[in-house]
Each structure stands twice: as C-alpha cells, then as structure tokens.
Structure 1
C-alpha cells in the first residue's frame, strides 16, 4: 500500500484499471527504462552464461555431460514454462511488486547457485532462478508499455529489444572472461550485482500499474500453458541429444501437445475470461509479430550452434576470443534496434520488418556463400553484421506489434507472449539447424576418410571437435584429417545457412503480405497518445 501526504490524499482518483497522469518528466522515464533494462540484462545473461563453463561444471561436480546440460537447461525450461501465467499474475497483483519479488527470488537463487556444494543444490537453485526470471522478464516490457507515452514508447521498446537481443552475447563474453581469469562460481556475481542495482532503482523509480480483475484468474489455462510449454521445450532440448524416438523425448512431446490442445480448447471456450484470448491472433499485428520473432530467434540460435564450433574447432580460438568475435553482431543488433523506431513512423512497421528480414536473409546467404577455412573470421563477419542489423530492425516493430495488440491492462500477458515466442524460437532453431549442420558434416566427411584407421574415422564422424581430438594421435595423417574435418564442417555450415535463407525468404513474403499495418498517428491532445501509469508511482518513494 502506498503512503501519501495530505495534498496527495485529497487528490481525486481517476477510475479505471490504472490511473493517468499528464506525463512523467523525461528524466524519470529514462531512469525507469535503465532500471528495467538492468533487470532484463540479469535474466538474459543467465540464459547463456553457464554455456562457457560446461567443462568446469563437469570437473567440479563429477557430473556427466547430460547432467551439465540439465544444469544449464532447467533454467530456460522453467523460465519459458512460467512466463505466461506469471505475466498474467503481474497484471493483477501489480507490476512493481511482482518485479521486486522476482528480483529478490532471482538474486537469492543466483547467490545459492554460486555457492552450491553439490549438483542437487545447483539444480534446485537454477530452477528457482527460472521462477524469478519468469516474474522479471515480462514485467520489464509491461512497465515500458504501460508507462511511456505513445510517442515515446517505440524508442523505449527499441532499447528493450536491443538489450534482449544483444544482451545474451554480452553476457557470454563477460562470463567467458570471468571463467578465464577466475572461477566458474564468479559467473553468478554478475547477475547478483545487476539484481541489487535493479532492486534499489525499482524501489525508488519504477511505476506501479495493475489490472482491476473482472473475471477470476484462469487457473486451468495457466496450468495447461505450463504443461504445454514445458513439454514442448523439453522435447526440443532433449531430442537432438537423446534422439527423437527416446522415451523421455516422446513423453515430453506428447505431454506438450496434449497440454497445448487443452490450453487452446480452454481459452477458446472462456473468451473474455481467458488467460490469453486466442482470437486476437486473427489480427495482423499479433500473428505477424509473433511469427517474425519465432523465426528470427530460431535462426539466431541456429547461427550460434554453427559459429562456436567454427571459431573454436576450425579456427582454433579460445572460448573468450570466440565470444568476443560475436560482439560486432550484438552491437549491430542493438544499434539497429534503436534505429527501428525512427524508421517505422516514416516507412511503416511492415516495411521496416520486411527490410530487417531481408537483411537477415542476406546475412545468412553471405555466411553460406563466402565462408571458408582459409578465409577465417573475415569470411563470416559481413554476414554477421548484416544479420545483426536485420534482426535489430525487425525485432522492435515485431515486439511493438505484439504488445499493441492487447489492451493496456493485459500488458503482462502481452509481454509474456513476446518472451515465450522468443524462447520457443530459440529451442526450435537449436533443434532444427543443429542436426542439419551435423548431417551435412557427416555426409561430407564420409568421402574424405579413405585410409584413415577405423577408430579414428569413427571419432571424426562424431563432429569437428572430435576430429580435432582424434588428429592428435593420428600420426602422419593428422594434417589430412584436420583439413578433411574443417572442410566438411564448412559444407555442413553451408547446408544449415541455406536452410536459414529459405526460412527468411518465407518470412519475408509473409511479412509483405500479412505484416502489421502502422496505426494512424493520434491527433494532438488525444488522451490515447499519453497512456501513462499511476501518478503516485512516478514520484520517488
């Protein structure tokens, strides 16, 4: 409950799900934006940070590769499964208290993970971190969409999408640096520090807004959404590792599909009381924005699956240097995310999105066409830059199209849907483009292993990193084996990249045909152009 002075207490309240104000000052809005971006960065960095410490985790806990992957993936799985229900609860309980509670849970869990004495403790801590992250992530965007005036909202969303898109790469770089100079446990210092800063700033500056509930909370819809998201993402994560016919993979897939069917049936029946009104997907904005983010993040995740082995196994770079090599793409993405809100009013959301998709596809084509072992990093850099610019241009209007399709009082749900789409896209990209790379590599290297001893050849077929390891004991044939593995990897790379180009081509046609239309600008003085949050929370506490 907020406390007010006598003058504030006498002020009349404006009816509706949230109060209105004539507009917060620009400085306060900047502080709000910085705060939610710091909170978002803590969540995004933790998604990718532990990937650079897999060998260290295995040695520290005597854990198998499967267990190490669970330490990493349980966070993402929990985050994706809980985004939608916790985003909806944030709309009802208040976005500021939900954000503060999420930061507290996430910070405690991250500290616990850094101090974990056993596998069981770190698994539990990572699961709890996922719960906190699912409270934070949708609220950060919902705070922006419910606080910023219409004419400033696009730029704020552009900053948010830049952090969401490029923050993972920055998190990986900082994590790799910490692992190289210190210890894997220091990886959790970064999210804890970010959480503490975001917590202090949130208490002072973040506005509170909430929905006035008209219908009971859709508990059954929330539960079925959790089953659907958890089952499908589990299957996508485990399928490439265990095999698609493995009982665990099939169980997750069946559970996810049944949960999805039950969720859709429930939401269509409830209509106005639904957790997510699925009829809104008939609108161009929601459907087009969701599909664009799904495909863009799928392709981005697939690129990372390809780039890291290329930089480390083919070029022989360290983890830190390989992560640093991705920074130009992250910088380009973040810069283009800031440019997109300036382009959209001039050329329209659909043209901005289509231009971004076209550039992303061109970047993939460049990476497929000119990559070579001899060309090294410079043969992939132009494609990375084009991909980064394209993603940045397309992400911001796509995110704005999603959040603009749902009413102001449901912005937690809109933000959660945006985040779920990103998580599903990432899981799909890894599950689909990763096997394409592996299949292309194996097909290519089979014809290059004549005369290689059977054991060494079998190891080389497993992947380029295995071939590099096997070459150390291959004697005079080591150089030939290395050359064969690296050339085969490039051919597998090209196969995966051309598949990505095809996906971007389909998406480009879809955006041109069914992309969101830009709304007409609101007349001067129209209250709809300045929908802001409760004035009480825009003053420092």
Structure 2
C-alpha cells in the first residue's frame, strides 16, 4: 500500500457534503457578534445606555449557551448531529431577524437569549461533525479551514454591520434572515452521522466527564476560555470604544475588526500544515505568545496604528489556537461522547465571551482600558509557560 503524502492529508476535501454543510453553517455563525459589534455605540446612543449596559448585547447572547451546551451535546450524541443542527440554524435566523422589530432594549436582550441558545447548537454540532468524519492531520486541516471560514465571515460582517448601523440601530439584525437558505441546505445536504444511542441524563454526563478526567484536557479547555475572554474583551469590546473615543465612525471600526479576522483566517487555514510539523500543544503555545504581544502593543501605543497592530496580532493567536484546541479534544474521546466533550468546550467558550465584554467595559469605567490591556498581555505570557509545562 502506498502511503498518503503529508500534503494530501493536509488538504481539505472540498467535495465532501459534510464539509460543505459545516462550512456554510460556520459562515453564518459570525453574524452573532461581529455583525453587531461595530453598532454597539449606536445601540448605546439609541437606547440611552452606558458602555457596560450596551455590552450586554454581546454578553447575554452567550448566557444560555454556557448552561445548555452540554445538554445540546447530549442531544447530538443521543439523537444525531443533523437533528440538532437544522433546528438550531432555523431558530438562530428567525430570532435574529425578530430583534429588528423589538420595542425596547429589554426585549432585545430576551430575544438574544433565544438566539444564543440556537448559536450554541450550531457551534457544538459543526465541530463535532468534523471530529466524526476525519482523523489526524486531515482533521486539523478541516478544523483549520473551518476556523478560517469563521474568521472570514467575521471579517466581512463588521463591514456590513458598520454600514447598516449608519442607517439605524436595528438594520444590522435583518441580516440574520440570511440563515434561512443555509437551514434548507443543511436539511437537504447533510447525512446523519451514525451514533450509538446510549442512555442519556446523569449517566451520560458522568461517562463523558470520566472520559475527560485527564491532565491533557486542561490545556484545551483553559485555552478556549482565555481565548474568548481576550478576543471579546480586547477586540470586540475595547477596540470599538477606543476608536469611538478617537471620533472614528462605525465603518472604520468595522474595517479594524475585518483586518483582525482576516489575519485569523489566513493563520487558521495553515493549521493542517503546522500540525504536520508541530504538536497541537506547541501550536497553542504560539497562540498564547500572540496574546502576550497583541494587547501589550495597544497598551504601549494606544494610537490608531497601535490599536490596529495589537488587534491583528491577537487575531493571529486565535487562528493558531482554536483549530488545535478542537483537534486535541476530538482525540481525547470516542465518537459516542465527542459532542458532549466539545459541548463542554462550547460552554467555556461562551463563558469567556460573556465574561470578556462585561468585565472589560465594567472595569474600564473605573480604570480605563490601558491597565486591562497590560493585564491581558501578562495573561498571554503566563499561558505560554503553562501550556509548555503541561504538555511535557
């Protein structure tokens, strides 16, 4: 038998129906926050809110996902990935579009809770489908491309959101209706993954947790949490408000976020190539190095050039870490518990996304953003040391 060349293993099988459906769903997911992030100052002014209260538009979106992601993982392992993904796509789209007609900010937050639950179902099932279908370097390649698609969508949507925010505060939310054609595509194009229908409830959760009770799980779960705290605290929350203080428009804010996500997309796309040369733990350590440098640059030089440079470096770190985080977790568990393991990752991811904006905006109200940026850089440096120590 002829060995498959490493270059072939690192290639993405673009003709795979699973890959096409997963990437289409993943491309929709960035509508959740990057679309509305440039509009935060506009929403704040429209409803007469503080920065911290306006940031709830981001944080509330992730609250139910923190709690319900393991339940969604249980459903995906018990009944199948498709039966969770398709309803999640439909609910995500309809709830998002409904926000445009909300009469007040409390209603906006209530509907965002529903939409966030649906988003959790999308995140859990898409990554699990990749873990089911592929192994080794090929899995890293597809996970890297999936992160790249996510970042590419997140690069485009801030521009769209920034432009629509100049029309009205609620115009960006109409873009969520784009998810309805993706829902139909997933229903028609995705074949259900064969799963073993084991008992659910407490027994399932206990077995899933036992499969994760190992030292190797510390790095991916801690990294998933810290990545989102830094990304959503620094880039998604602090950067728009810093640029708004300089008098820049939502469109320019969108351009900065686009540059950050574009770099993340390019770096993530190379994960399969990197995985053929470095372990996932070392790739994650490189990502932490970017987390150390990026916020420190903004702290040292809070000008437009410094903000852009720091955000871009941090974006590169996200592109390095997240595909390797999911590859590590996929290797730790068998198929029947994979959605459960990745749903826990989704819970800590959503927790980081919820904590990041509120903590940064809330603390900055007393200290300003610069001390927080320095602290973020120190967390990144500590992450490099901890990752390398735990991987020995």
Distance 1:388 1:41, change over 3 A: same
Q: CA deviation at 1:502?
A: 1.5
**What CA deviation, in whole Å up to 9, does each residue of 1:114-150 have, x standing for no partner?**
3345566545433332232222221111111112354
Give the conservation status (yes or no) of the 8 Å contact 1:162–1:338.
Answer: yes
**What does residue 430 of structure 1 align with?**
357
Q: CA deviation at 1:165?
A: 5.0
Query: Which whole-Å CA distance do the structure 2 matches of 1:429 and 1:120 have between them?
Result: 21
Gaps of 5+ in 1: 1-24, 222-269, 442-491, 518-541
Gaps of 5+ in 2: 1-11
**What CA deviation, in whole Å up to 9, does each residue of 1:135-169 have, x standing for no partner?**
22211111111123544211111122234456445
Query: Which whole-Å CA distance do the structure 1 matches of 2:238 and 2:332 have between them?
Result: 35
Query: Which whole-Å CA distance do the structure 2 matches of 1:121 and 1:300 have between them?
Result: 27
1:199 equivalent in alignment to 2:130: no
Give the conservation status (yes or no) of the 8 Å contact 2:63–2:354.
Answer: no
Query: Which whole-Å CA distance do the structure 1 matches of 2:312 and 2:48 have between them?
Result: 38
Q: CA deviation at 1:200?
A: 2.6
Q: CA deviation at 1:434?
A: 4.1
Query: Which whole-Å CA distance do the structure 1 matches of 2:43 and 2:260 have between them?
Result: 28
Query: Which whole-Å CA distance do the structure 2 matches of 1:96 and 1:395 have between them?
Result: 23
Matches of residues 264-279 of structure 1 in structure 2 within 5 Å?
Answer: 274=206, 276-278=208-210
- Structure 1 stretch displaced more, 429-438 or 40-49: 429-438
Give the conservation status (yes or no) of the 8 Å contact 2:59–2:354.
Answer: no
SS in 1 for 2:244: helix
**What CA deviation, in whole Å up to 9, does each residue of 1:213-254 have, x standing for no partner?**
232x21xx5xxxxxxxxxxxxxxxxxxxxxxxxxxxxxxxxx
1:391 equivalent in alignment to 2:318: yes
TM-score relative to the length of structure 2: 0.85
**What CA deviation, in whole Å up to 9, does each residue of 1:14-68 have, x standing for no partner?**
xxxxxxxxxxx94432x533422332333332234344445665777x6766886
Give the conservation status (yes or no) of the 8 Å contact 1:43–1:191.
Answer: no
Distance 1:367 1:124, change over 3 A: closer
Query: Which whole-Å CA distance do the structure 2 matches of 1:69 and 1:431 have between them?
Result: 6
SS in 2 for 1:277: helix
Alignment RMSD (CA, Å):
2.9
**What does residue 281 of structure 2 align with?**
350
**What CA deviation, in whole Å up to 9, does each residue of 1:171-203 have, x standing for no partner?**
3332111122x334432332211x223223212
**What does residue 70 of structure 2 align with?**
84
SS in 2 for 1:354: helix
Equivalent of residue 380 in structure 1, options 292, 307, 313: 307
**What CA deviation, in whole Å up to 9, does each residue of 1:47-98 have, x standing for no partner?**
34344445665777x6766886655543321233221101211111111122
Query: Which whole-Å CA distance do the structure 2 matches of 1:52 and 1:327 have between them?
Result: 11
Distance 1:200 1:273, change over 3 A: closer
**What does residue 373 of structure 2 align with?**
497
1:37 equivalent in alignment to 2:35: no
Equivalent of residue 234 in structure 2, options 281, 300, 303: 303
- Of structures 1 and 2, the one scoring higher in RCO (CA 8 A, sep 6+) is 2
TM-score relative to the length of structure 1: 0.63
Matches of residues 165-244 of structure 1 in structure 2 within 5 Å?
Answer: 165=151, 167-168=153-154, 170-180=156-166, 182-193=167-178, 195-215=179-199, 217-218=200-201
**What does residue 134 of structure 1 align with?**
120
- Structure 1 stretch displaced more, 420-429 or 495-504: 420-429
Distance 1:73 1:510, change over 3 A: closer
